[in-house]
């Protein structure tokens, strides 16, 4: 991949921040849910956002 422009870097940074927030939110929801099935679903969603975060982060390196 070629060099990342400043605009692309800003967009990646914003997306990383959004994904990080979603990871934290769904983990928090899982921790507060009483139903095991709902906890598992929230953790699965958090894991998906972690994958998105990791894929975006790889674009920087």
How high is the pLDDT of residue 3?
A: 86
List, in sequence order, the alpha helices (H) in 1-61: 6-32, 36-58
Q: How far lies 51's CA from each of 7, 36, 39, 48, 58, in Å? A: 23, 22, 18, 5, 11
Measured CA to CA, the distance from residue 36 to residue 13 in angstroms comes to: 34
**Ramachandran area for residue 5 (φ above 0: left; ψ -120 to 50: alpha; else beta):** beta
pTM score: 0.89
How confident is the model over 30-59, as pLDDT tens digits?
999 999 999 999 999 999 999 999 999 998
Cα 9 vs. chain centroid, distance in angstroms? 17
């Amino acid at each position: 991949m070629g060099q990342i422009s400043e605009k692309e870097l800003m967009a990646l940074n914003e997306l990383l921040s959004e994904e990080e927030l979603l990871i934290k939110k769904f983990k928090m929801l899982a921790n507060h849910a009483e139903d095991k099935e709902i906890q598992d679903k929230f953790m699965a969603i958090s894991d998906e956002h972690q994958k998105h975060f990791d894929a975006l982060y790889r674009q920087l390196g």
